[in-house]
Structure 1
């Protein structure tokens, strides 16, 4: 008798596993029944053999719980294109339910045995005194770095921005153009174990000489860094929630176990409004935004992976995930971990806000956390409009927000050409970054 098959994933969930867009595209090309033989699915796994360039087909197995992947192809990407193609084939209901084949059962049993051994392995005792000493030493280095940065910023801004674009400035102790100076100080902040300050300096370096209003943009970025460095010098004087926010912005972070144990818990039906993938310093990051249907809370779930490895795809945009989140501490609790959840369900078009409501919410958030550089918004009844040589999105009240410079507008414009759409986006001071669009024919991740 064939085993019961697991609940099939959506194509969006499968696409979210792809290590890069090229793999996703090739995987879609392999999601054709004629390319596969011996394909089957159980409650635990999906398997099949795909004809490749060699004489022998590639054997592909996917454990659904992990997910975990095994393929005889030489690819070093996880999942490979064959695993993606097989999962897309399964998602489209072209893989029948079947009893697990011997090699599939053997591989799953081996994985289960390794996991069991890992759970039984005793944890090494933690040296709490040594850990506290290391934390204190790091705080001292960060404080020293913050004091150095404040002094440098005072001298540098006091000299004026006229020399920032290209010529050298010797009074602050560094030579070279303005952008190079900022990168040099950023490296000093890395040495001081203050990655948050370093990141702000690198962002500031990217502003030098770019655009007509770059001096004002640069001053705004450096002002926030100055305030953050000042807050680092008086952490003990700040209210506890604000102190946690400052620590997070400096680069300190609460551990997963600590957040799950003592973080604020919020149970709700969480709408996954959108996700953004970034890659920097050989690390891929996925920002996934959620919005509680009943609580109205917004949450940010982060996942990380090295290049070629899959990011977490268990929170597909456009779906509702009933569950409980544990929030990191802070004056504006935003980042969260999924503490408990049930199966994601595709949702109809959600009700969004007006532009005015979204701007008011962003302003309230900035009043609590002035270093917030993006805010998730869900906007209803948007139509495209021309704006200052680019594009903006206008709501029923006529209020509009411009698209972020550099964003390709055409996929969204095509969706909104005939009917107003509901859009999830990241709102930044420079404009909107579209993430997910709901329109009469469905939901599209942009």
Structure 2
């Protein structure tokens, strides 16, 4: 039997508020029949307006969903309602040895598609394509280098833009050069505040110059530069190499709207290795990102890390068992230690904007200049957190010291999860307590 998720975790999967509300109306046993749970899946029939009930099945691994309803939202209200029923009433969804045929066929198809793809038919052709792309990226980096130098000569306040064309045009040129990382950073230059523009120019100049001399860099740093420029390693290729198996604590998750996609950032930390990891998942309009793990739970799994001088981003590999609740708040550190750890990350990778940190015995404080977290020795300004998240943090604290997880960077600290004195986790950005 799968460990039951909390109501808040289920609702965090919803693509919008309307789906959450509709799911609540389907969370009682009345509209459901032939429900069951087993083999890592959940299924049931939901009676709608027609004569034929909707067939709903959920696989817990990703999780993944399938429903015969015509809704374009993903997950739909039926999948969410079934999850709410399952999480709230153990008797409403009995354990079953085998799923019905319609659910079993979909589950079998997913498992078949999850098998590793075959190796490329022509490795030599793949190498030629990689060489052509490397040459295009090198040309793009050289052009960007010249554009930046020209803009600095003109002066940052020059309304003529980047050599007269503006940074959006430069970003488009980098896209043509197959360097999406350079394109993204060039695009951001138009939106940086005045006091941050010089630093933005310097970091982009450093990245373009580093790629032009990538053959001279130590291999870990060269891998970091390639990743920052926009080269990625396929997930299947990563998982075919070395993986790190551990009991990973789910520290928290945060959804960010990056029109038209929703990006979910999900942070883990190894119980044995102490190693942090960041998983990314994306959702199209009307769909929640597929990857979802309960905050404050432990998952035994294998992760494969993207190569680099300071590996953080990872992909989730084989899981070994179901997630289980962690016994309490995670191991934490004082503010000074978190800042030192961020400094080490920047030393290894100069383009690091933040680093995950779990702060010990901190209190949220509202000041005239904004919110801060303090451990009585040092204070961090709170950055990029919605007002409701700040007040939720304050409510959980109640003026008492708490454990807080978030992103620590040069702009301040972005809170994601808080643990109260009893060790209960509350998500601050994607749906509350887990």
TM-score by length of 2: 0.88
* Alpha-carbon distance in 1 for matches of 2:72, 2:124: 42
Could you list the per-position Cα deviations for residues 50-73 of structure 1 after superposition, in whole angstroms to 9, with x for gaps in the alignment? Answer: 455x35475242233564434343
For residue 211 of structure 1, what is the aligned residue in structure 2?
none
Contact 1:16 1:316 in 2 (8 A): no
Secondary structure of 2:338's aligned partner:
helix
Q: Which has the larger radius of gyration?
A: 1
Secondary structure of 2:194's aligned partner:
helix
With over 3 angstroms needed to count, the CA separation of the structure-2 counterparts of 1:290 and 1:123, relative to structure 1, is: closer
- How far the C-alpha of 1:100 sits from its partner, in A, is 8.3
Does structure 1 residue 412 correspond to structure 2 residue 393?
Answer: yes
Residue correspondence of structure 1 range 86-235 to structure 2 within 5 A: 86-94=82-90, 95-97=92-94, 105-111=100-106, 114=109, 123=118, 126-163=121-158, 167-168=159-160, 173-175=163-165, 181-207=166-192, 214-235=193-214
Pick from 6, 9, 15 the counterpart of residue 11 of structure 2. Answer: 15
Secondary structure of 1:14's aligned partner:
helix
- How far the C-alpha of 1:269 sits from its partner, in A, is 2.4
- How far the C-alpha of 1:24 sits from its partner, in A, is 3.1
Secondary structure of 1:30's aligned partner:
coil
For residue 380 of structure 2, what is the aligned residue in structure 1?
401
For residue 178 of structure 1, what is the aligned residue in structure 2?
none
For residue 350 of structure 2, what is the aligned residue in structure 1?
370
For residue 432 of structure 2, what is the aligned residue in structure 1?
none
Q: Which has the higher contact order (CA 8 A, sep 6+)?
A: 2
Pick from 45, 60, 73 the counterpart of residue 69 of structure 2. Answer: 73
* Alpha-carbon distance in 1 for matches of 2:106, 2:371: 51
* Alpha-carbon distance in 2 for matches of 1:406, 1:43: 39
Secondary structure of 2:317's aligned partner:
strand
For residue 292 of structure 1, what is the aligned residue in structure 2?
270
- How far the C-alpha of 1:332 sits from its partner, in A, is 0.7
- How far the C-alpha of 1:278 sits from its partner, in A, is 2.3
For residue 324 of structure 2, what is the aligned residue in structure 1?
345
Contact 1:270 1:322 in 2 (8 A): yes
For residue 321 of structure 1, what is the aligned residue in structure 2?
299
With over 3 angstroms needed to count, the CA separation of the structure-2 counterparts of 1:90 and 1:150, relative to structure 1, is: same
Contact 2:417 2:425 in 1 (8 A): yes
- What root-mean-square deviation, in Å, do the aligned CA atoms of Structure 1 and Structure 2 show? 2.7
Structure 2 unmatched ranges of 5 or more: 429-434
Range with greater deviation from structure 2 (351-360 or 426-435): 426-435
Structure 1 unmatched ranges of 5 or more: 176-180, 208-213
* Alpha-carbon distance in 2 for matches of 1:78, 1:122: 26
* Alpha-carbon distance in 1 for matches of 2:7, 2:380: 31
Could you list the per-position Cα deviations for residues 124-151 of structure 1 after superposition, in whole angstroms to 9, with x for gaps in the alignment? Answer: 8522222111111111111111111111
* Alpha-carbon distance in 2 for matches of 1:444, 1:77: 26
- How far the C-alpha of 1:355 sits from its partner, in A, is 0.5
For residue 431 of structure 2, what is the aligned residue in structure 1?
none
Secondary structure of 1:42's aligned partner:
strand
* Alpha-carbon distance in 1 for matches of 2:290, 2:110: 19
Aligned length: 420
For residue 427 of structure 2, what is the aligned residue in structure 1?
445
Contact 2:38 2:97 in 1 (8 A): no
With over 3 angstroms needed to count, the CA separation of the structure-2 counterparts of 1:319 and 1:356, relative to structure 1, is: same
With over 3 angstroms needed to count, the CA separation of the structure-2 counterparts of 1:401 and 1:25, relative to structure 1, is: farther
* Alpha-carbon distance in 2 for matches of 1:327, 1:117: 24
* Alpha-carbon distance in 1 for matches of 2:118, 2:6: 38
* Alpha-carbon distance in 2 for matches of 1:368, 1:114: 43
For residue 256 of structure 2, what is the aligned residue in structure 1?
278
- How far the C-alpha of 1:78 sits from its partner, in A, is 1.9
* Alpha-carbon distance in 2 for matches of 1:316, 1:7: 10
With over 3 angstroms needed to count, the CA separation of the structure-2 counterparts of 1:123 and 1:358, relative to structure 1, is: closer
